[in-house]
Structure 1
Amino acid sequence: MWDTVTHFHTFVYGWGVTTPRSTRPRLAAKDWVTAALDLVRTDGMEAVTINRLCEHLGVTRGSFYWHFADLDALREAITEHWCAETRAVLDGLVHLELLPPLERLRAMTLRLVDERSASVERALRDWARTDARVGDAVAAADLFVFGTVQGALLELGHEPLEARQRAGLLVYAGLGFAHGHAALPVPTPEEIERLLALVALQGL
């Protein structure tokens, strides 16, 4: 009798039935931020729309609204993520002070011409014109890089004005790469070494 009742309730109400769960992991807010940055890298900031993100992640709009009230809220999260990431990168570069000056310049130059981050940096610099928080993070990163390059040139023996001018050449070369790398040749490691020799060592 009990088996019959149990079978009845299982059939009607689903008692005792184990339904398979979706194998797709639930997305977190950081997954949306990461997906948005992927779109920024490939198509620019204007490509970050709710529909594009949902298509990219293979989910519905409802999944987006579970984490964000609107697209502006996502952009705010992207800002917070990038600012935090920038601060972490700057903190991680403190160890450069332990390197010899030429090695320090080499590390900074390679960072300035990093192709992977160039497209994101270009989009974020455009974004910084209208978002003060992003602008502050970009400015802090630029000042840190310039100061590190200038300090290394001073250690190599350049006079202060000469070190400042040469630091400008290297840093602005990196900024130019961020904005023009899509159309211009990507510098090879050998070309970077020649640039370093020309800017950092010539005249010593």
Structure 2
Amino acid sequence: MTHEPTREPFDTLASAAPPDRPRRQRGRGSIPWIVGAAAVAGVAAAFSGAFVAGHYEARLGQMARELVATRQRLQREVAALNDQLALYRSAADLLRDPATRVVTLRGLGPSPGALGRVIWHRSAGGQLFVAKLPPPPPGKAYELWTIGQGPPRPAGVFRVDAEGRATQRVEPVAGGERVKGFTVTLEPERGVPAPTGPMVLASAG
């Protein structure tokens, strides 16, 4: 009698094997990574854009301030040129009058190379023009004096530019007193009622 081999052990092992795990759907695990990368890229782009915008905003602010400073400087220069033009026109008007005289001033003491001229009219006053006069020390300025019958009279305090030049309006002497000459001294910057400093310019005679 023939016996067939039994299959029970194999059937038992087959039934005892754990069930197959369900396979993950392809691509589902990569979605969070893509979303995260996109978020990081978005944050980086926003940060970069804010940085660039801030940089250009600061640069534009600096350019605006520089433009304002340049405009103010040009306005000051134009105002100074207008003042100079008015002085030259006034001097030209004075020179048309036969009663006007031109007085030359020569350098003295610490400023032998300095030069000056006063266009002078007895009743209208005049204009002082100075060249090659060194800038005064701190706290000092130059003061013009009229020389007449009595002691010198103050006729204005002035400063020179970097090239030693200056122009100054000279008012007529009160009472129409005749002026014989002019002199310039170095004085305190606010001026003094009588000369105290060294003489740097003086007219002849």
Higher relative contact order (CA 8 A, sep 6+): 1
TM-score strictly above 0.5:
no
Higher helix share: 1
TM-score, with structure 2 as normaliser = 0.24
Identify the structure with the greater strand proportion.
Answer: 2
